Amino acid sequence: MEQKRILLVIGGGIAAYKSLELIRELGRRGIASRCIVTKAGQEFVTPLSVSALSGDKAYTELFDLDEEAEMGHIQLSRSADLVVVCPATADLMAKANAGLANDLASTMLLATDKPVLMVPAMNVRMWQHAATIRNVAQLRADGVTVMEPDEGAMACGEFGPGRLPEIGAIVAEIETQLNGQGQGALSGVHALITAGPTREPLDPVRYLSNHSSGRQGYAIAAALAAQGADVTLVSGPVALAPPRGVTLVKIETARQMLKACEDALPADVFISVAAVADWRPARAATKKLKIKATDAEAPAMELAENPDILKTLSNKRKNRPRLVIGFAAETHDVEDYARAKLARKGCDWIVANDVSGDVMGGAENEVVLITHDQSERWPRMGKEEVATRLARKIAAELGGDDGGIKLAAE
């Protein structure tokens, strides 16, 4: 199979240093990078470091006779399968939208006939400025894929949307672009995933829930889609944008989640990542509950057990997914509890993780993949990398001995 190649434009911003990690991670996946480093980008990374990691010359100047004789900006713009701008600064996106061509990067973007992926990173006020909003909207209308930046603390000390997305998420999007939707190792596979928390109402104002951010489930959905799977993501309330190419079904309660999963069957693989509330109030009040100031005791609450979604789908006689994977979030004796859960639920794999630290809502995870006959401990890594590893395991499992995917529908 011919090696995939991207043309990476490294813009000028503090996030430019992460482009080096991106080049390395793509290389691990067999994706080659040829790089353009803008003049502003060279303030943060050197062409030498880029060249050393990519194994190719780093291009910097439009008016360079040697570079024009060797490659030429027109040929350079068409030499890759995908053009990636990372970080995509407000300036680079403005130039691309206006069709300006006053340096190598902007000229290449104007001349290319290949798909373009832009990965923004900038100050929150720049990202939310009316000019940037207009530029992003027009670029998308013109067919450019512009990822949503992450939200969080920035080097400038402000907080909000504008951070470069996690490297794992960028890699997954690049793989999706290179493979094409519906192509890849999991082409033809229907993957059903649950993510996030459920909310069980006490009354119209209050509810029972948990701390799940949904990040691991959303990362798995993105990784499977990048491998060509047809992904249905059943999600509780989270503050995350759905991955590109994924069918999102929003729910609130555990009972709604179960119905959405059953409606989505048949599926070839089911991954139960959601942190589903085990219990719900037996009777939700139709009006806000009031507590009298004179009451000496807290009001009693009768609870009812929620459906066990993982166990229900694991034990289906009809339309049981070929591969059923559960998650076990534990604070101690992680592997013992997870193996017991594997037997109790009737699923095929359990991904166990210790949530006693900053895993819930954090960017990293440390897991143990448990099957009926072995345990495989993975080192602590980003949740996107966990998702990528799991997607590869799933592709290998469904592939069988002959390497071809065997689908549940067959």
- Give the C-alpha distances (Å, rounded to integers) separating 197 from 210, 214, 250, 253: 6, 7, 11, 9
How many other C-beta atoms can be found within 10 angstroms of the C-beta atom of residue 260?
19
Q: Of 86, 156, 261, 347, which residue is the catalytic one?
A: 156
Cβ atoms of residues 117 and 85 within 8 Å: yes
- Residue 361: how many other CB atoms lie within 10 Å: 11
Q: What's the rounded Cα separation, in Å, for the pair 275 and 237?
A: 11
**Is 86 a known active-site residue?**
no
333 is in an annotated binding site: no
Confirm or deny that 4 is annotated as ligand binding: no
- In three-state secondary structure terms, 7 is strand
23 Cα distance to chain centroid: 18
Q: Enter the DSSP assignment of 15.
A: G
Cα angle value 229/230/232 (rounded, 5°):
120
**Is residue 307 marked as binding?**
yes
- What residue type is 334 in one-letter code? V
Q: Using only the alpha carbons of the chain, give its radius of gyration.
A: 24
The response to whether 345 counts as a known ligand-binding position is yes
Which DSSP category does 143 fall into?
Answer: T
Token pair for 73? 């900006």
- Does 290 appear as a known binding residue? no
Binding residue ranges = 278, 288, 307-310, 327, 341, 345
Question: What residues act catalytically?
Answer: 156
Residues annotated within a binding site for CTP: 278, 288, 307-310, 327, 341, 345
